[in-house]
Structure 1
Amino acid sequence: MVIQQRFGLSLVALSCLALTACDHNDDNEPAPVPPADVSYSYEVTVQNITQGQPLSPVGVALHGDAVMWEVGMPASAALEVLAEGGDNSDFTASEGVMASASGAGPIAPGSSETITVTVINEPDTFISVATMLVNTNDAFAGVTGHALGELEVNQSMTMVLPVLDAGTEANSEVAGTIPGPADGGEGYNAERDDADLVSFHPGVVSAQDGLKMSVLTAAHRFDNPAVKLTITRVE
């Protein structure tokens, strides 16, 4: 009986040793290392190639596979605010935007500005860029839903941007309706009194070309394109 008891105790002791050894081995296993974050940074250079149309501070947004406007469809409220008053804050904060940036100020004719925007762990991102031609009622230039996934570091893409009409405000050109230096009038107005569809802009008429109540002159006319855009991946 004594022998049986000692044998049982020996088994218990061996079991404890085995458990201790197992626990010790678990503690020595290295913890999994999470993958490092990868930054995707882009320099967005916007050049104003009009004769007499300052551009509002540029709005840049990185997002998934979607568009922020479409020709033939109504403008969003955020685009309306940008196209009528030059304020890009709602545009860059739109639903689905992963990263955004704003230009520092207006871009004069012939001038340019470079804006940097960065997104983390999103290699297949899309970009939208928009800016108002401020000596108009609701004209803007931009591109939306342009894929950046194929850009390698130090590679660039260049494009020219047409002028679009947000379709949210009539192109009356009358005093008090244009926010730019040609008038200093009202910017955004929530009332929509035009076709309510985004379209290609027909251009300004001006007083010199027969629109007697217009505050614009021939210097404010523009041809398409109005903006040269260069996007460079820098990281």
Structure 2
Amino acid sequence: MSIIKQMTHKRLTASLVFATLFTLSACSDNDNDSMETPEPPPVPTQDYRVTVTNLTANQPMSPIALIRHQADMTAWQTGGAASLPLETLAESGDSTGFADMEGIDALVKGQGILLPGMKESIELKLSPDEVASISVLTMLVNTNDAFAGLNSVSLVDLAVNATVKFSSIAYDAGTEANSEAKGTIPGPADSGEGFNAMRDDVDRVHAHPGVISADDGLTDSVLSASHRFDNPVLTISIERLR
């Protein structure tokens, strides 16, 4: 083989080797580019069932409001003034305002009015860092501003298949006088006004003194003896399913 042919053969061989290495490198880069970043594993959830039972004779409850909130806040404070969302719920049964309240992470509503003697269950899926503070609220709709519920309960220590039970008295939001007068009660006993921004009562949350009714001598009352209630007015059970 001549020297020129040998040199040409060596150049061709070197070029083929370089081209092969470049091709392998390019394939490797393309493979890296096409690889997708793996998604993080889903956060495991803890499943709960919250069951609310209406114990009264003739006090329908507004749709249950189940609230998940920060551990450093409470839905209400006995002896303290009601927040605007609490005032609205206690006077009209509307819990929507809690969704926009600072410190509230989530609001879940029940299906509708909870009639006397009936119960409703709501199921929740919560991550482990969402179980520190749960509250339940509802209005006794045949009153001016009575409400009941569960205030800031932690589910951290509730084991799988375990159930914890609570009872709730009726509270007075202290935002509307308990006149029982026609046009002031939103429930079926009157179908009157709901929320009114004017506060004409003691402006502090306290245990509700109960209704008087026309049958017991309050002549202007639209309520009857059937609307009276004893405490507790609710039972609330929380079961951890998983």
Contact 1:126 1:147 in 2 (8 A): yes
Say which one has the larger Rg. Answer: 2
Aligned with 1:122: secondary structure? helix
Contact 2:88 2:195 in 1 (8 A): yes
Amino acid across the alignment from 1:38:
P
Question: C-alpha distance in 1, partners of 2:89/2:147?
Answer: 8
Gaps of 5+ in 2: 1-24
Question: C-alpha distance in 2, partners of 1:103/1:33?
Answer: 34
Cα displacement (A) at 1:51 = 0.6
Cα displacement (A) at 1:91 = 2.2
Residue equivalent to 1:73: 80
Matches within 5 A, 1:1-235: 34-65=40-71, 66-122=73-129, 124-235=131-242
Residue equivalent to 1:13: none
Encode CA deviations 1:69-95: one digit per residue, 9 max, x unaligned. Answer: 100000000001100000111124432
Contact 2:55 2:116 in 1 (8 A): yes
Encode CA deviations 1:85-136: one digit per residue, 9 max, x unaligned. Answer: 0011112443222233101100110001111233334154211000000000
After superposition, the CA RMSD in angstroms is 2.3
Residue equivalent to 2:11: none
The alignment of Structure 1 onto Structure 2 pairs a total of residues equal to 213
TM-score (norm 1): 0.84
Worse-matched range after superposition: 32-41 or 56-65: 32-41
Aligned with 2:129: secondary structure? coil
Contact 1:53 1:134 in 2 (8 A): yes
TM-score (norm 2): 0.81
Kindly, what percent of the aligned residue pairs are identical? 49
Contact 2:98 2:107 in 1 (8 A): no
